[in-house]
Amino acid sequence: DAKTTQPPSMDCAEGRAANLPCNHSTISGNEYVYWYRQIHSQGPQYIIHGLKNNETNEMASLIITEDRKSSTLILPHATLRDTAVYYCIVRVASLNNQGGKLIFGQGTELSVKP
């Protein structure tokens, strides 16, 4: 079973920041938080991941609370092309741990509206 909980859906106005929350209260000390998104009828796309520090790349920012029990993915200026299902996943980074498999939950369906 997935170890994360996310709201099933969210709306965001185009050009505004989209803040997607994720709860992972049972996260272990060696587990990372990963975010992926899936645009309709395509394979999921990696966005970002982090352990305990906040992370930023060209796509998004990841804010992890100090107790690591929750995190927020931030898309700073959402566009219509950001409409997708966003998945938050926790897992150990080591490939030796059960092959590094990802267990997906239901994700959050983000709709960016003009």
Partner 1 sequence: SQTIHQWPATLVQPVGSPLSLECTVEGTSNPNLYWYRQAAGRGLQLLFYSVGIGQISSEVPQNLSASRPQDRQFILSSKKLLLSDSGFYLCAWIGMVGGYTFGSGTRLTVV
| 95 interacts with partner 1 by CB under 8 A | yes
User: Quick check: 32 and 51 in contact, CB under 8 A?
Assistant: yes
- Sorted by sequence, the CB contacts under 8 Å of residue 3 that are 6+ apart come out as 24, 26, 27, 90, 103
Query: Stretches 19-27, 41-49, 61-69, 71-79: which one binds partner 1 (CB under 8 A)?
Result: 41-49
Total chain residues near partner 1 (CB under 8 A): 26
How far apart CA 5 and CA 100 sit, in angstroms, is 20
Separation of CA 56 from chain center: 13
Using H for helix, E for strand and C for coil, what is the string for 76-98? CCCCHHHCEEEEEEEEECCCCCH
- C-beta of 101: minimal distance to partner 1 in Å? 5
| 3 interacts with partner 1 by CB under 8 A | no
Query: Stretches 20-28, 58-66, 72-80, 89-97: which one binds partner 1 (CB under 8 A)?
Result: 89-97
User: Quick check: 107 and 35 in contact, CB under 8 A?
Assistant: no
Which of 45, 54, 56, 79 is in the footprint of partner 1 by CB under 8 A? 45
| 106 interacts with partner 1 by CB under 8 A | yes
Which of 5, 7, 104, 111 is in the footprint of partner 1 by CB under 8 A? 104
User: Which residues contribute to the site for partner 1 (CB under 8 A)?
Assistant: 32, 34, 36, 38, 41-46, 49, 85, 87, 91, 93, 95, 98-104, 106-107, 109
